[in-house]
Amino acid sequence: MINDEYFLAALRLAAGNDPIPSHVSAAARDAYGLRVPRAVTAKVAECAAIRGMRDDDGSHLVRFVAAGLTFDLEVTVGDGLIDVAGQVFPYPGEGALVDVRTPTLTLTRRIAPTGQFIAIGLPPGWLSVVCHRPGHAPVQTRWVRIRP
């Protein structure tokens, strides 16, 4: 019986390639773990009224659009943490939830009948929001980096 590791090492030698560093493989596995199967990815919408707007209190407004849904997110950084106040419209329906995600933490919130939700106390860094609607594929925002 052939040892799998020995066989892979022999293939690498035959191909003349060095092995992938372990930290690269670990980062790839971590990134793969952040995916949402079957999700549709919303893109930043070009909306002059909201795009790149920064309020005096340090909040940042951004809009994402895909699959008939619009996400308006107001991200505020204070005391080194991130707060997200958002609205999904049109209202995605009874039983819809949003996941406000960072690479290390996911906060699941019910969506109010007005489409609004809030998540506070997130660590700074990468952020994505996923809307789960019964009977539909999830819709996720792309990952955005939020710095304090």
Q: What confidence tens digit (pLDDT) does each residue in 51-61 have? A: 444 555 668 88
Residue 56's pLDDT is 54
Most confident of 3-7, 28-32, 119-123: 119-123
In eight-state DSSP terms, residue 52 is T
In eight-state DSSP terms, residue 92 is -
* Side-chain half-sphere CA neighbours of 147 within 13 A: 0
Query: Beta strands 144-146 and 139-141: pairing type?
Result: unpaired
Q: Can you tell me the distance from the alpha carbon of 43 to that of 98, in angstroms, rounded to the nearest whole number?
A: 17
Q: Per-residue pLDDT tens for 78-132?
A: 999 999 999 999 999 999 999 999 999 999 999 999 999 999 999 999 999 999 9
Mean pLDDT of 42-67: 72
Burial of 88 (0-12, 13-18, 19+ CB in 10 A): buried
Nearest to 77 by CA among 134, 36, 17, 123: 123
Dihedral of alpha carbons 76, 44, 118, 102, sign:
negative
Domains and CATH numbers, the chain: 4-33 (no CATH), 40-146 (2.60.40.10)
| Helices and strands per DSSP (H, E), number in the chain | 2, 11
